[in-house]
Amino acid sequence: MVFIVGGLAGNTLAPNHCLATLSITMTVLGSMLSATPLSALMQAKGRRFGFMTGAAAGMVGAVLAVTGLYHSSFTLFLLGALLTGTYQSAQGFYRFAAADTASDAFRPKAISWVLAGGLVSAVLGPQLVKATDDMFVVPFLGTYLAVIGLNVLGLILFAFLRIPLPQPPNAGEAKGRSRMELLKSPPIAVAVICATVSYALMNLVMTSTPLAVVGCGFTQDNAADIVGAHVLAMFAPSFFTGHVIARLGAPRVMAIGLTILAAAGVVAIAGVELTNFFIALILLGVGWNFGFIGATAMLTANHTPAERGRMQGLNDLIVFGGVTLASLSSGGLMNCAGGSVQGGWQAVNMAMLPFLALAGAALIWLWLRPMDKA
């Protein structure tokens, strides 16, 4: 819901149209800044406490967004978006929580099944936006009020979560590798690179999509439907992604994901008809799913429980750092490059190329190291 309306709402408040997607950038920045503290908090207090903290931050962020919209304050709206990022960061740990109590063989499937829950958001989110975006005189006020209610529901649900706290190492027992040592591990380094590229490029294109769709003469409902199809494509493959990883291995699945992301860019550049938008965003979602879940599976298989809080927080700090830069670039490329909506949309999709090349090169490097193929 926030990603569908964030750029459109920002466009009504921002003093400069180049800043229309700044609220989404602030959300991702909030995710980046929250990743390490939330990981440490969950390591010390447990997943339930961390997830409830994220839901509470999302609720307060939505309250500030409502206040900003009502008073036409772009500053308050951005502050609310920043706090919403803490919710998004906590949500990013769902996949790790799924792996906490899973066996080695079941871990990729557990991660996939949890991410498959996003199908519910893919169906409900766009419909809630359609039902609430013009509920009040102030555009999108109703949408953010609905976000408040959803976060309250999240607080209730998380109260029932039961995941044991990780056992602290005994005196004299190894505490695991340092952050720098972890990043020097080839499988971990490649997993972080591919997760960052997959998530950042997905965000780069998705952030600009509502602006591009409306700017090309289509409606806000069209934009909501396209983003809804994209989110469905992000999570629907999760029912079998874990099985594919178990069969082909995480590196091959990540390579497939990067290839599909490249195909999404090609379709988007080819035209600005509704069909192009739908196909490109569906491919973008599937590519993200394979790239991101594959990277998460490889990451969780290459660190110990003692290193969990250290590595997972560092991973999401780097991932959301990349996503922050992508979302910040998205609005500028869309509204201030190319000289037109079509030109801006092409610039957004062309920007994917060097990062796909980087991630592809990292995977090739990993494959050339026989000891790391597993």
pLDDT in tens, 238-262: 888 888 998 999 999 999 999 999 9
Q: Which two tokens stand for residue 169?
A: 């190492």
Q: Is there a contact between 139 and 9 (Cβ–Cβ < 8 Å)?
A: yes
Give the span between the Cα atoms of 198 and 271, in whole angstroms: 23
Q: All domains of the chain, ordered by start, with CATH?
A: 2-161+176-372 (1.20.1250.20)
Residues 293-308 have pLDDT tens digits of: 999 999 988 888 778 7
Distance CA 296, CA 233 (A): 18
Max mean pLDDT among 30-39, 87-96, 101-110, 343-352 falls in 343-352
**How many Å separate Cα 355 from the centre of its chain?**
17
On the question of pLDDT at 121 being above 60, the answer is: yes
Whether 95 has a pLDDT exceeding 90, the answer reads no
Question: What integer is the mean pLDDT of 101-110?
Answer: 80
Task: Note the pLDDT of residue 228.
Answer: 86
Q: Which pLDDT score, from 0 to 100, does residue 370 have?
A: 64
Alpha-helical runs (H) found in the chain: 2-13, 22-45, 47-70, 74-92, 94-100, 107-116, 118-132, 141-158, 179-183, 186-215, 220-235, 238-248, 250-270, 274-300, 308-336, 341-350, 352-367
Q: Is 167 exposed, middle or buried (0-12, 13-18, 19+ CB in 10 A)?
A: exposed
Nearest-angstrom CA–CA distance, 151 and 239: 26
**Arithmetic mean of pLDDT over the chain:** 88
Residue 87 scores a pLDDT above 90: yes
Confidence of residue 170 (pLDDT cuts 50, 70, 90): low
Rounded Cα–Cα distance for residues 86 and 82 (Å): 7
Question: pLDDT by residue (tens digit) across 171-184?
Answer: 555 677 888 888 89
Tokens linked to 5: 């309306």
Closest to 318 measured CA to CA, from 73, 78, 32, 19: 32
- 373: confidence class by pLDDT, cuts 50, 70, 90: very low
pLDDT of residue 371: 57
CB within 8 A of 209, min separation 6: which ones?
223, 226, 227, 230, 277, 281
What does the angle CA 250 – CA 245 – CA 282 come to, to the nearest 5 degrees? Answer: 95
Instruction: Express as a percent the part of the chain with pLDDT over 90.
Output: 48
Q: What b/e readout covers 330-357, taking b as 16+ CB neighbours within 10 angstroms?
A: bbbbbbebbeebeebbbbbbebbeebbe
Does residue 159 surpass a pLDDT of 50?
yes
pLDDT class for 12, splitting at 50, 70, 90? confident
pLDDT for position 374: 41
Q: Return the top range by mean pLDDT from 158-167, 213-222, 281-290.
A: 281-290
Please tell me the distance from the alpha carbon of residue 157 to that of residue 149, in angstroms, as a whole number: 13
Which of the four pLDDT bands, split at 50, 70 and 90, describes residue 372? very low
Check residues 104 and 75 and name the one with the higher pLDDT: 75
pTM for this prediction: 0.75
pLDDT of residue 105: 79
217: left (phi over 0), alpha (psi -120 to 50) or beta: left
Across 112-116, 166-170, 246-250, 321-325, the highest mean pLDDT is recorded for 246-250
Instruction: Give the pLDDT confidence score for residue 327 in this predicted structure.
Output: 81
Look up residue 180 and give its two tokens: 């720098």
Question: What's the rounded mean pLDDT across residues 153-165?
Answer: 88
pLDDT range class, residue 349, cuts 50, 70, 90: very high
Among 33, 165, 20, CA closest to 87: 33
Stretch 267-296: mean pLDDT: 95
Query: Which has more pLDDT, 252 or 163?
Result: 252
Q: Which of 9-13, 99-103, 167-171 has the lowest mean pLDDT?
A: 167-171
Neighbours of 277 (CB within 10 A): 26
